[in-house]
Structure 1
């Protein structure tokens, strides 16, 4: 079975979990693929290029591959345009992320909701 590769996919990080000593499991919300689980190998290392980019509430462009439940993150770039919110705006953003986590199914795209 061939692995499916996705490039230049607009996304937001909804949640991140420790997976191993150096890696993270990410729940991301993408424009064309909906909610997707990704493993970011080595993302917790001090020299990782993922470390400063994989922040919640920030627009990203992701490349990932794989055909299992948890796919592998290949690259992540900050698209820019938003400043990290603070105070009540930050709490509202985290609440919105939790709603997306609980009310959307994996691999079910919602492009209108993403916009």
Structure 2
């Protein structure tokens, strides 16, 4: 199997997420090996396995919300929508976030929830580039 360059990995991740995070482009310009390692890990999240990719992305949404990383929440929200998460699935994930991590974690989702509204509350939205 031919090895991909960091730029190719960033492109592949962008296709799977529905947008390309700027930080990945910056990292690829600085350290190709870092992006290759990141791509191997991220590939597991963005691919179906025993759990569908959508489920793993919703789990990641809950984790990054618990860490109160607003930009991470935005990325995972956009990825979840791109990967077919419905409004109901996302709101059930929000319930898990609220129960397990409290109001600060829910507050970290406030901007990302606006994306859900803008995307028409349907599965398979097309979030724009980050």
TM-score, normalized by the shorter chain, greater than 0.5: no
Q: Normalising to structure 1: TM-score of the pair?
A: 0.29
Q: Which has the larger radius of gyration?
A: 2
More strand by share: 1
